[in-house]
Amino acid sequence: MQFSGVIVVVTGASQGIGKEIALQFAREGAHVCALARNQIDLDGLVEKIKATGGHASAHAVDVTKAVSIRATINEIGQRYAHIDILVHAVGGFKRLLPVTEITEIEWDEVLNVNLKSVFLCTQAVVPWMKIRPSGRIILLGSIAGVSPNPHAKSYLPYGAAKAGVLGYTKHLAKELGGFGITVNAVSPGTTATERVMQIRSENDLQQLAAANPLNHRIEPSDSAAAVLFLASPQAKGITGVNLNVNAGSVML
Ligand SMILES: NC(=O)c1ccc[n+]([C@@H]2O[C@H](COP(=O)([O-])OP(=O)(O)OC[C@H]3O[C@@H](n4cnc5c(N)ncnc54)[C@H](OP(=O)(O)O)[C@@H]3O)[C@@H](O)[C@H]2O)c1
């Protein structure tokens, strides 16, 4: 119960890695404010957490819309008088297109979801973290932001956006260090979430696992564990880093 009474905002909490992060925080005693667009999925998560004695609330919001995300974060901040931890797990892509087939609309959509949302969510949450002399921001990067995956197809706008997230992490870490707020990234390798299984076949995932040094199929729980460590008091001296959770596929 190392996060007992701690207020944690998790974006992208309705499925995949974000959902697993929300569940792990709730198991450790945190109050989880779960954000995503789909109210029904969020309600299901909150019900699941409450059924096991945990604490959670659902907040349906589009994190690419400045006015909406600010209103949601302010509502949470006012309700609890501060926010301790932000985990921003929204991100991803739906297609794998070559550079010549990427439209301007597609480029903007991928950049908005994966990079602009990072700016909007952190900007909204920082005033509520500064109320106490501590705070944790953890952004979900990707192996794609570090390097093209040597064993799988990469997606250009996604790689560019996630490289931006890793740069943003360092700059924000420097800016917020004086307030006792740490800012770090966790970068998963290809992880067997429902969304990924729609883009890549079971065979692709098996080949990826066989190609990494640990011969490990990366699960949402692997990244969630890394997030909880960076959010813990033990990580108080760590800021501006990117923690790769890719079973050694890329070691940069
Ligand atoms: N899975 C992987 O292989 C992998 C690898 C490297 C990095 N990552 C990164 O890890 C993070 C989680 O990935 P994942 O695969 O678990 O994602 P996922 O299963 O696609 O889930 C994405 C989550 O974000 C929410 N979301 C999407 N757009 C949103 C928006 N505009 N506003 C609010 N919520 C939104 C979705 O819920 P709604 O649809 O209800 O809004 C969902 O809860 C992402 O940042 C991803 O880039 C994943």
pLDDT in tens, the chain (252 residues): 899 999 999 999 999 999 999 999 999 999 999 999 999 999 999 999 999 999 999 999 999 999 999 999 999 999 999 999 999 999 999 899 999 999 999 999 999 999 999 999 999 999 999 999 999 999 999 999 999 988 888 899 999 999 999 999 999 999 999 999 999 999 999 998 998 888 888 898 999 999 999 999 999 999 999 999 999 999 999 999 999 999 999 998
**Domain span holding position 57:** 7-191+220-236
Centre of ligand 1 to C-alpha 178, Å, is 31
Q: What is the pTM of this model?
A: 0.98
Residue 250 within a domain: no
Please indicate, yes or no, if residue 86 is contained in any of the structural domains: yes
Residue of 80, 155, 158, 168 with catalytic role: 155
Q: Is residue 187 part of a domain?
A: yes
Does a structural domain hold residue 178? yes
Residue 176 lies in a domain: yes
Which of 37, 95, 219 to mutate to test ligand 1, by most ligand atoms within 8 A of the CB atom?
37
38 lines ligand 1 (CB under 6 A): yes
Q: Which residues contact 78 (CB under 8 A, 6 or more apart)?
A: none
For position 41, which CATH number holds? 3.40.50.720
Taking the mean position of all CA atoms in its chain, how far away is CA 237? 21
Tell me the CA–centroid distance for residue 13 and ligand 1, in Å. 8
Residue 164 lies in a domain: yes
Whether 37 and 116 have beta carbons less than 8 Å apart is answered as: no
Pocket test for ligand 1, best of 110, 193, 242, 250 (most atoms within 8 A of CB): 193
How many helices (H) and strands (E) would you count in the chain? 10, 7
- Total count of domains within the chain: 1
What DSSP string runs through 79-90?
HHS---EEEE--
Tell how far CA 209 is from the center of its chain: 22
Structure tokens at 91: 């991100």
Annotated active-site residue 155? The verdict is yes
Residue with tokens 């701690």: 6
The answer to whether the CB of 166 is under 6 A from ligand 1 is: no
In a domain, 62, yes or no: yes
Flag whether 214 is in a domain.
no
